[in-house]
Chains A and B, each alone.
Chain A
Amino acid sequence: MITVHQLTKSYRGVTAVDDVSFTARPGRVTGFLGPNGAGKSTTMRIMVGLTPASSGHVEVLGGRYADLPNPGLEIGVLLDASAQHAGRTGREILTLAARTMGLPTTRVTEMLARVSLTEKEAERRVRNYSLGMRQRLGIATALIGDPGVLVLDEPSNGLDPAGIRWMRDLLREYADQGGTVLLSSHLLHEIEVIADDLVVIGNGRIVAQGTKQELLAAAGTVVASADNARLAGALAEAGLGAAVSAGGSLHIDADAHEVGRIALAVGVPLTELRPADSAGLEEMFLELTAQSQRDSRPGPITPEGAAA
């Protein structure tokens, strides 16, 4: 469990993180989503004490990160896969982590196998690693202490599609076993497939947060029926404007339950009723982040019912 309380970080007048609060819960994958430079990495560095906060604080497993007696056993952290001594071998980097945590070196071999780095690759110096191999090594470093919490900054950068799939399954399994997973990304689709909860950040401010279902619902509903004109009329009567999408179905800014109820009331048989898919969320993401980039001091925009 990680709780971020009103975190703010300023650099000589530039506010990189502005009053950010959210919680990453056990058993769930929390996606931290935002464009490049939105403040994701800074927030994560503050979490683990690498960057001091200007104000606010982060609670990790009920206390300060710096007070954890052996952090590697409780929180696995991957902030930047390239931040390793280029002259060390992959195996050596894992060995250092294992030794620091007081783990037997057999864990190193186990972890290399877990992240699919071969013995031969493990003996190579990190200088010669591809970004994907560095990510695997970084994930191995994060997992080696078998922690209950994972904090990963853009972990799928540089991974091939099979690697991304592998990591998604790994994180899913971790959360299903009761672990807390916080991962950041600037790619909406990637987060959307794996996350249970979403925190969207733009220009240092949280612009939306909630469960994925809530945010998808906020992105609207797509409906089609035998008589779209009549349904649109009924929706308009209920105060809901409908946009006609490419396939002829209607896109409404309301949840499926409400749309279905209205359709039932006017007796129009539905042929399709579903939440607006990723396109809806993507639109919202672009809109929210674009807005925070344009306006000088916007208030945080939180979809109704989605505020934590």
Chain B
Amino acid sequence: MSTLTTTPDRAVVVAPRPRREVRPIPTSRIIRVELRKMFNTRSGFWLLTSIGVLSVVATGAVIIFAPESDVTYETFASAIGFPMSVILPVIAILAVTSEWSQRSGLTTFTLVPSRGRVVGAKAVAILVVGIVSMLVAFAIGAVGNVVGSALAGVDTVWNIGLADAPQIVLGNLVGMAIGFTLGVVLRNSAAAIVGYFVVSLVLPGILVLLAQVREWFTDLQPWIDWNTSQVALFAGQTSTAREWAQLGSTTMIWIVIPLVVGLVLLRRSEVK
């Protein structure tokens, strides 16, 4: 009676299934999947939506509250730029850390065993999202500028040149890269977001203060403080070779070196 449910004797050897031909996963496909992952969660969807919404809100606020003399493209750009400079790095952080904090990495890294390829695809996806978001923001700002100046009855002022735009974009990309780096190094959403606000809000203040009270640090500070480089980019004021070298230095200290170390650790770590 009790043996009724046991499996029958399996004396007959079953022929193993023939292996079919399997082609490698192209990198472009991994990038597309990673892009999709940035949109298809509730948090990701609202973060990206909020960029558009906040751009419109910021534009509206400028039209309503700014004095007529300030209705210029620069005002619109900086009003839109502030929320962007906060949200874009958070998007970059979550794209990386959710694999660990939400544990979806168990599936991701099982389907694509090369973690380097996955993280690289994430970097490309983040870059795409960043650039597209900024193009959208520039466009919303431009519409706001035209509408705002017409409503205020002043001439439309285009005081951000095409030469400045790439620097503004680069400035935001630096912020996203810092977020991405923190995500790779910490692999935890909460820690990386807190870490981002520490290095973007707390640390620059300390470095500036230190530069003010310690003379030897005054010359050193722009080589170390990435926030100074980023602010210069936002203003489109990185022009001399020395300034570009300072940007290179801060990028090396805050992005390249920690990213390399983080990637080595990430590839060796255990995904649980």
Contacts and interface: CB of A to CB of B under 8 A. Distances in A.
Interface of A: 1, 26-29, 45, 48-52, 61, 65-66, 68-74, 77, 79-80, 82-89, 92-93, 95-97, 99-102, 125, 141, 148, 172, 175-180, 192-196, 212-213, 274, 277-278
A50 B43 contact: no
Interface of B: 2-3, 5-7, 9-10, 13-17, 19-20, 22-25, 29-30, 32-33, 36-37, 40-44, 98, 102-107, 109-114, 268, 270-272
Contacts of A82: 103
Contact of A71 (B17, B105, B113): B113
Nearest to B271: A50
Contacts, number: 142
22 contacts: A1-B16, A26-B14, A26-B17, A45-B270, A49-B113, A50-B270, A68-B22, A70-B22, A83-B103, A83-B105, A84-B102, A85-B37, A88-B40, A96-B37, A96-B40, A99-B36, A100-B33, A101-B25, A102-B25, A178-B15, A212-B6, A278-B2
A90 B268 CA distance: 30
B106 A87 contact: no
Nearest to A101: B111
A66 B113 contact: yes
Nearest to B10: A196
Contacts of A66: 113-114
Q: Closest 3 interchain pairs by CB?
A: A27-B14, A26-B16, A83-B103
B50 to A, nearest CB: 15
Contact of A83 (B9, B30, B33, B106): B106
A274 B6 CA distance: 14
Nearest to B40: A92
B104 A97 contact: no
A196 B7 contact: yes
Contacts of A88: 40-41, 104
A60 to B, nearest CB: 11
Nearest to B12: A27
Contacts of A96: 33, 36-37, 40, 107
Contacts of A80: 103, 106
